[in-house]
Structure 1
Amino acid sequence: MTVRTQTLTLMQVIPWRSYVKLCKIKVVSLVVFTALVAMVLAAPPGNLPWATVLAATVGIALAGAAAAALNHIADREIDMVMGRTQNRPLPMGNISRGSATVFALLLASLALVIIWTLVNPLTAVLTLLTLIGYAVIYTRYLKWIGPQNIVLGGASGAAPAMLGWCAITGHIGWEAFALFLIIFVWTPPHFWALAIARRDEYAKAGVPMMPVIRGVAYTKRSIFAYALVLIPVSYLPVTVGLSGPFYLIGATVLGGLFAIRAYRLMSVDSDRQAMRLFGFSITYLTVLFALLLVDHYLPISGWSSW
């Protein structure tokens, strides 16, 4: 048997595609992007410690994948009854619960070792707390506490930006809190838009999402309210000296577009529009952090801050 044949046989035996699905690559990629932007912002332009950035990026990515896999394990029963999740590896039986657990713990262990040894201990500790916060506290408890579950659990999703800052500076400053708060306030309207479109599935699974408990109209008003609050919150990087007028203008435009779309959602009875807002919210956060990145390097080209 040739090496190529042995490799193909091994790939057929190990359901590697299912393990990749456990990692929720698309979700983790946005998490890693926010952490990476925070790392770049924490370093002076042109003086980026690339070795630390690489180690922290890999470590945070592995930690995010581990959290996603643990979430799959915890949600395997409700995934069986929800249409959008029935094809996940555990409900389909492609991977056993034990194998998924071992995989998740290996990813988490590797992430913590990399961050502890190649970045700094504080970032490793914060990464561990984030893992526990999402995979245990949120998924096991806060998710079932009531319609404000997303608000209460939003800290875990917002933490990677703080991890990125800490990876470079070795401490948590007001700049890190500013980035954290942006994602924290962005999280509820982002997930509530999805919850509106999938409310019947959440109700069937017994998950007390806001559209299920409070109704669609109330959820839409809440989305609009958070979209409005997000505008001044997005200005925090400017107030702490992290960015300048270029970012401010971009944040204003993006925030306005988000608020307008949220307002329009209140006047239509369409799950499709809710999913469009959900998709736009991802674009919003991606572009907002990209603006932070561009603004950080504009002084090199002669663009001055305030």
Structure 2
Amino acid sequence: MATLLSAAHPQALWRDYLELTKPKVVVLMLITSLVGMYLATRAGVPWTVLIFGNLGIACCAGAAAAVNHVVDRRIDAQMARTHKRPLAEGRVSPLAALTFAMLLAVVGLALLLTFTNPLTAWLTLASLLGYAVLYTGFLKRATPQNIVIGGLAGAAPPLLGWVAVTGHVSAEPLLLVLIIFAWTPPHFWALAIHRKAEYAKVNIPMLPVTHGEHYTKVHILLYTCILLAVSLMPYVIHMSGLLYLVCALGLGARFLRWAWVLYRDSQPHAAINTFKYSIWYLFLLFIALLLDHYLPFNFMT
């Protein structure tokens, strides 16, 4: 195994393999997974589930990301945002990356089966395959709705965290999935507008390429309205209280403002700024859910 991982290129370093896992994306996924775990209980999450459950989810997410690097290596080499990735520059070979991905997937599933429960492991495997095979291997190149359809795989972490603690699926974690599912299109389409020329160059049918920027901006605005409505549902079903409601309204209103700025093209660099804000939005929204759940006082009506 070590020979396969080192045979790719004499300059391949551990940082190259870490980059294959898309660590920044995995960290955001783990935050939502952690929130899912802690929202599932008030009694505290067992340390074995907390550590090894999240490690297993992270390994599987990293495996899916590594497969994405392999499949996209040729288009990555032609895009400014990705041309320095390990496979695009030849620092890691496709065989080594796939071997690394397989190793991560096996370790991740083993950890989940050992320290959480089978349902968590199988849901994580389904998410891995959804991203690595369905989205990366097919949807990304097949339809401008790739992000909408494939976004379900990336929305799974809070459900995985919840199920790791409880052992079953319920309405609350599915609502968390729905929030991320609604968040994904405006988040990624904003980046797609910013990188429109690069996606067109490599023939990836992102919405701004196939339908134009105005059409995409309209849909970003519509999906942001949907996201705002969906984000209020935890309060509606008494999953959270007034603290979360105030935060969701404030964060959602600012997201809607950025979507409007992008639609009106009233500020320079609106697309990339909308994309950057969307990351903070999701992070802060889930932190608000967690704070609302554990504060000693309850504003819920």
DSSP-derived class of the 1:48 partner:
coil
Contact 1:112 1:124 survives alignment (8 Å) = yes
Which stretch shifts more, 200-209 or 270-279?
A: 270-279
Q: Distance in 1 between matches of 2:89 and 2:11?
A: 16
Corresponding residue of 2:18: 20
Which stretch shifts more, 89-98 or 52-61?
A: 52-61
Q: Which runs of structure 2 are paired with 1:193-212 in the superposition (5 Å)?
A: 193-212=190-209
Contact 1:196 1:271 survives alignment (8 Å) = no
Task: Please give the per-residue CA displacement for 1:224-267, whole angstroms capped at 9, x wherever unaligned.
Answer: 11111111100122233321111011101111110011011111
- Corresponding residue to 2:48 among 47, 51, 60: 51
Corresponding residue of 2:136: 139
Contact 2:192 2:199 survives alignment (8 Å) = yes
- Corresponding residue to 1:38 among 36, 39, 44: 36
1:122 paired to 2:119: yes
Corresponding residue of 2:185: 188
Contact 2:76 2:85 survives alignment (8 Å) = yes
Structure 1 stretches of 5 or more lacking a match? 1-11
Structure 2 stretches of 5 or more lacking a match? 1-9
Contact 1:197 1:271 survives alignment (8 Å) = no
Corresponding residue of 1:305: 300
- Corresponding residue to 1:74 among 71, 79, 100: 71
Corresponding residue of 1:168: 165
Corresponding residue of 2:227: 230
Q: 1:79 to 1:270 in 2, by over 3 A?
A: farther
Corresponding residue of 2:155: 158
Moved runs in structure 1, 4+ residues, more than 4 A? Answer: none
- What is the TM-score of this pair, normalised by structure 1? 0.93
1:152 deviation in Å?
Answer: 0.7
- What is the TM-score of this pair, normalised by structure 2? 0.94
Q: Percent identity?
A: 48
Q: Distance in 2 between matches of 1:58 and 1:65?
A: 10
Q: 1:194 to 1:280 in 2, by over 3 A?
A: same
1:101 paired to 2:98: yes
One-letter identity of the residue aligned with 1:24: K
Contact 1:41 1:242 survives alignment (8 Å) = no
DSSP-derived class of the 1:90 partner:
coil
DSSP-derived class of the 1:89 partner:
coil
The alignment covers a number of residue pairs equal to 292
Q: What root-mean-square deviation, in Å, do the aligned CA atoms of Structure 1 and Structure 2 show?
A: 1.3
Contact 2:11 2:91 survives alignment (8 Å) = no
1:60 paired to 2:57: yes
1:48 deviation in Å?
Answer: 2.5
